[in-house]
Chain A
Amino acid sequence: MLPAQLGRAPRHLLVCERSHARHPRSRHAAHVRDHAYSCRVSFLIPECGVLPEVVKSTIADIGDYYLVRSLPVHELVTHEFIDAFVKKGSCYALSYKTKIDQDNTAALLPNGKLILSVDKGTYEELGLQGRPSRYSGKKVMRYIITIDLTDAGFQPESKKHNRVLWALKEKKPLEFDFLLAWYNTGAEGSTLMSYFSKNQIQALKPKITFSTLRDLQCPVLQSNDLQGKPEESCSTEELFEWLGAVLNQVSLDNKSSSFLSTYCCPEPNTVVEKAFLCTITGFIIPEKIIQLLEQLCSYFSEPKLAYWLTLTVHGFADSPVSWRESEHGFHKGGENLYNFVIFRNLDYWLQMAVGAHDDCPP
């Protein structure tokens, strides 16, 4: 007999919206930008054997990221760092291999907010004002501390700055392995590599894998119909489920002898001779995802066989935030992801999904 908890699935949310990529008030770029930490980007293009050169070059240029070993957090609140990186571009930092539900976690958002998600003991010792975590239950075991590094009151030698520096440097020195990425337009200053040269820093490249899927069953979609109609098109939920199966290489042939999955492609569907699937894993910043999204939109500028293509972005399961500064928790999977379905006429569907310990996506 299954335990009671397994019988019920925890709460999860899927938000869908439809718009046009060239619409002046389309919010797709804003949604991508608000989702700061992405660990996996994959796109699926049906009826495509070879990737166009433009898209290929964008992928190759997806950008390095850095891994700094045991970096004290107080280095991120020094004014040298803030002036050199935070104020001159978008600086992303996320503690690496820290578990959101048991360890202390730190994240630096591009808007200059440093978010520390700490357990009760650390919070009591640290001496920085925070707020209890929303998902910690009646007896609060986790606190969220937000420090705005670009705040006017956060000047050097100000009371606030001294307090933060004292807390992180002397009171309770916190140290993490950080994933770092920095994006700036124009003005070249010193790089992260040279700034953290005295720390153990290494530059990492995102891992890119290509694969071509043969004879794939694809659902039929109507861009103006999110709900789908029986016999005519599939709904967004059905597509989302199917996409999950495709990305995880789950067989779609509904064999009765299979003990793992009897999933099959939703009706109606068409068989596509070949589909191109590319997966990029790493610490990918939203600016690059927006570039990639634009390139994929321009894929349809020439007539193509495919009716639609998809771009799926997975967030870090252990990141302290999902969209903007809304708190993120792990619970049973820590999923926070979004998926674009871009149609031939540049209409798009955006699906945003989160797990149990998350706010509703924007």
Chain B
Amino acid sequence: MEGQLYRRLPPEDSGELRLQPQGSEEAKTFVHAFLKRSMPKMKDEAIQEMLTRKAVVLEHYPKKKTKQKRKKTKGFTAKQRRELRLFEIEPEQQRYAIFLPLHELWKQYIRDLCHGLKPDAQPHMIQGKLLKADLHGAIVTVTKSKCPSYVGITGIILQEFKHVFKIITKEDKLKVVPKLNNVFSLELDGFISYIYGSKFLLRASERSAKKFKLKGTIDL
């Protein structure tokens, strides 16, 4: 095909068309002159380069995005946190009275969350809301436990961890109560809810996104 295309015209055809057949050298110089004339600003070398054929690969390469290295948030490591005792409450701060406003705040929060918490509200709805609610500041009581000495502890939740609640009692004692094998009850405006701690082994933040399933036993 290519050979056909670049073949010299037969003399009979060129005679008929009244064309002057050119030799290859002549053609080359003609092209040069033509290009030079049409693009006077281009340099000779640039034109020459355009004429050299290049192989074009027809596959698509997406441009690799150069990922920007995210800067690590400069915080404390778990070890440092432990050493600094960041999340521990100082003994002089362990007083029940200090945390009563927190409890009031929590009550307000739950009432807002449950649209006022009217006495005729559906317990089912409150249950669902409480499941996702934050419990810091709630007054809870341990109603059932595998270990009898936990039974009866009442107080305000100060901190919630994955496996334990830290509760301050009326006697200004800070109690660390594991969630596993304990049942907690919390009372608000006449609604009493029970929390089965064994199913609650999550951090407060994880719990808000967790879907609770009616599965397994609630037996301690």
Contacts and interface: CB of A to CB of B under 8 A. Distances in A.
B144 interface: yes
B152 A129 contact: no
Nearest to A127: B151
A246 interface: no
A127 B149 contact: yes
Interface in B141-200: 143-146, 148-152, 183
B107 to A, nearest CB: 24
B35 interface: no
A301 B96 CA distance: 77
Contacts of A123: 148
A171 B141 CA distance: 11
B12 to A, nearest CB: 110
Contacts of B148: 123-124, 126-130
B47 interface: no
B9 interface: no
B113 interface: no
A125 B144 contact: yes
A125 B143 contact: yes
B94 to A, nearest CB: 21
Nearest to A128: B148
Contacts of B145: 124, 127
Nearest to A163: B152
B151 A125 contact: yes
A296 to B, nearest CB: 47
B220 interface: yes
A124 B152 contact: no
A171 B185 CA distance: 13
A123 B148 CA distance: 7
Interface string B194-208: 000000000000000
B152 A166 contact: yes
Nearest to B149: A129
A261 B160 CA distance: 69
Interface string A104-128: 0000000000000000010111111
A167 B143 CA distance: 11
A121 B151 CA distance: 13
19 contacts: A121-B144, A123-B148, A124-B144, A124-B145, A124-B146, A124-B148, A125-B143, A126-B148, A126-B151, A127-B145, A127-B148, A127-B150, A127-B152, A128-B148, A129-B148, A129-B149, A167-B151, A167-B152, A171-B152
